[in-house]
């Protein structure tokens, strides 16, 4: 079955360490997205990519980095510059065009101690 896989589901890191969250899709979608979710704050867009080797900053890109070397993969690195990295991170993908909506992964909960 096609879908989006985020791994790991839970991740613990010490403060000051960089950490990379994985997102892989086998839906043949062109566009991919990363969102951050905090309690009571809805979804906030971190980065998005509409095509391989190209990506754009979202609303809260500071302290994060991404790459899009393959259509299927869009990893997110949370760097030590991110002041409050503990959150639930969601990856999504979509076909080209506004009528399709997004398909989401099951999320990664990152806890920095």
Partner 1 sequence: AQSVTQLDSQVPVFEEAPVELRCNYSSSVSVYLFWYVQYPNQGLQLLLKYLSGSTLVESINGFEAEFNKSQTSFHLRKPSVHISDTAEYFCAVSETIKAAGNKLTFGGGTRVLVKP
CB of 27 to partner 1, least distance (A): 13
Q: Does 104 bind partner 1 (CB under 8 A)?
A: yes
CB of 14 to partner 1, least distance (A): 23
Query: Which of residues 30 and 79 has its CB atom nearest to partner 1 in the complex?
Result: 30
Dump strand ranges (E) for the chain: 4-7, 10-13, 19-25, 31-37, 43-51, 54-57, 64-66, 76-78, 87-94, 103-104, 108-112
Q: Does 98 bind partner 1 (CB under 8 A)?
A: yes
Q: Give DSSP secondary structure letters for 1-14.
A: ---EEEE-SEEEE-
Residues binding partner 1: number (CB under 8 A): 26
Instruction: Report d(CA 17, CA 39) in Å as an integer.
Output: 24
Q: Does 94 bind partner 1 (CB under 8 A)?
A: yes
Please identify, among the stretches 14-22, 36-44, 63-71, 75-83, the one whose residues bind partner 1 according to the rule CB under 8 A: 36-44
């Amino acid at each position: 079955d096609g879908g989006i896989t985020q791994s790991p589901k839970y991740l613990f890191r010490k403060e000051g360490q960089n950490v990379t969250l994985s997102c892989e899709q086998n839906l043949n979608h062109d566009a991919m997205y990363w969102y951050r979710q905090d309690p009571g704050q809805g979804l906030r867009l971190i980065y998005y990519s509409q095509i391989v080797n190209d990506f754009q900053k979202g609303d809260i890109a500071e302290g994060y980095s991404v790459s899009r070397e393959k259509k299927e993969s869009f990893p997110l690195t949370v760097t030590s510059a991110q002041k409050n990295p503990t959150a639930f991170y969601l990856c999504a993908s979509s076909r080209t065009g506004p009528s399709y909506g997004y398909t989401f992964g099951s999320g990664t909960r990152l806890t920095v101690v």
